Homo-oligomer: A and B are copies of this chain.
Amino acid sequence: MLEAIFAPKSIAVIGASPDPTRLGHRVLKNIIDNGYQGAVFAVHPKAQAVLNRPTYSSILNIPEPVDLAVIVIPPQAVLAVVEECGKKGVKGLVVITAGFKEVGGAGKELERQLIALVAHYNMRMVGPNCLGIIDTTTHLNASFAALMPDPGQIAFMSQSGAICTAILDWSKSAEIGFSRFVSLGNKGDVDEVALLEEWGKDPENRVILAYLEGINDGPAFIRTARQVTKDTPVIAIKSGTTAAGTRAISSHTGSLAGSERAYEAAFNQSGIIRAQSMQELFDFALAFAYQPPLQGRRIAIVTNAGGPGIIATDAIERSGLTMAEFTAHTIAYLQEALPPTANVLNPIDVIGDAASDRYRVALKAALADPNVDAVLVLFTPQAGSEPEETANVIAELSADQLKPVLASYMGAVSLGPALTLLNKQRIPSYPFPERAVEALHAMANHYKRTQRIKGEYTTFEVDRDRVHHLFHEVRKAGRVELGEIEAREVMEAYGMRLPQSRLARSPDEAAAIAAEIGFPVVMKISSPDILHKSDIGGVKVGIADSTTARDTYELIEYRARKYSRDATIWGVLVQEQIRKGREVLVGVNRDPQFGPLVVFGLGGIYVEVLKDVAFRLAPLTRQEAAEQVRAIRTYALLKGVRGEPPADVAAAEEILLRVSQLVVDFPEIVEMDMNPLVVHNRGEGATVVDARIILQGG
Contacts and interface: CB of A to CB of B under 8 A. Distances in A.
Interface of A: 144, 146-147, 158-163, 165-170, 172-174, 211, 213, 237, 239-240, 276-279, 304-308, 310-311, 313-315, 352, 380-383, 410-415, 431-435, 605, 608-610, 633-634, 636-637, 641-642
A170 B431 contact: yes
Given A166-B410, A314-B239, A279 B431 contact: yes
24 contacts: A144-B383, A147-B413, A160-B305, A162-B308, A162-B382, A163-B311, A165-B380, A165-B381, A166-B305, A166-B380, A166-B381, A166-B410, A169-B381, A169-B412, A169-B414, A169-B415, A170-B410, A170-B412, A174-B412, A213-B310, A239-B314, A279-B431, A605-B641, A610-B633
Contacts of A412: 169-170, 172-174
A169 to B, nearest CB: 3
Contact of A305 (B163, B277, B435): B163
Contacts of A435: 277, 279
Nearest to A23: B383
A413 to B, nearest CB: 4
B434 A277 contact: yes
A358 B127 CA distance: 28
Given A163-B307, A307-B159, A641 B608 contact: yes
Contact of A161 (B147, B240, B305): B305
Given A313-B240, A413-B172, A162 B306 contact: yes
Contact of A278 (B161, B311, B634): B311
Given A239-B311, A307-B239, A609 B641 contact: yes
A165 B381 CA distance: 7
The complex is assembled from copies of this chain, and their number is: 2
A347 B357 CA distance: 54
A614 to B, nearest CB: 15
Q: Ordered nearest first, which 5 A-B pairs have the shortest CB separation?
A: A160-B307, A162-B305, A169-B411, A166-B410, A173-B412
Nearest to A641: B609
A263 to B, nearest CB: 12
Contacts of A610: 610, 633-634
A276 B318 CA distance: 11
A610 B279 CA distance: 33
B170 A411 contact: yes
Contacts of A431: 170, 279
Contacts of A174: 412
A686 to B, nearest CB: 21
Contacts of A172: 412-413
A135 B161 CA distance: 46
Given A166-B411, A279-B435, 14 more contacts: A158-B307, A159-B307, A162-B380, A162-B382, A165-B305, A168-B411, A169-B411, A169-B413, A173-B413, A239-B307, A278-B434, A279-B431, A605-B641, A610-B633
Contacts of A313: 240
A162 B304 contact: yes
A245 B413 CA distance: 41
Contacts of A381: 146, 165-166, 169
Nearest to A306: B160
Nearest to A635: B609
Contacts of A311: 163, 237, 239, 278
Nearest to A311: B239
Contacts of A279: 431-432, 434-435
Contacts of A237: 311
Contacts of A166: 305, 308, 380-381, 410-411
Nearest to A169: B411
Nearest to A314: B239
Given A172-B413, A608-B642, A637-B609, A307 B434 contact: no
A307 B382 contact: no
A680 to B, nearest CB: 19
A159 B310 CA distance: 12
A159 B306 CA distance: 10
Contacts of A211: 307
Contacts of A642: 605, 608
Contact of A382 (B165, B173, B637): B165
A312 B633 CA distance: 30
- Centre residue among A277, A315, A637 by max chain B CB count within 10 A: A277
Contacts of A170: 410-413, 431
Contacts of A605: 637, 641-642
Contacts of A146: 381, 383, 414
A173 B608 CA distance: 51
A395 to B, nearest CB: 21
A165 B411 contact: yes
A144 B384 CA distance: 13
Nearest to A385: B165
A635 to B, nearest CB: 9
A326 to B, nearest CB: 20
A112 to B, nearest CB: 22
Contacts of A159: 307
A411 B164 CA distance: 10
B352 A240 contact: no
A304 B313 CA distance: 41
Contact of A307 (B162, B168, B276, B306): B162
Nearest to A213: B310
A472 B684 CA distance: 57
A181 to B, nearest CB: 15
A166 B380 CA distance: 6
A169 B605 CA distance: 53
Nearest to A307: B160
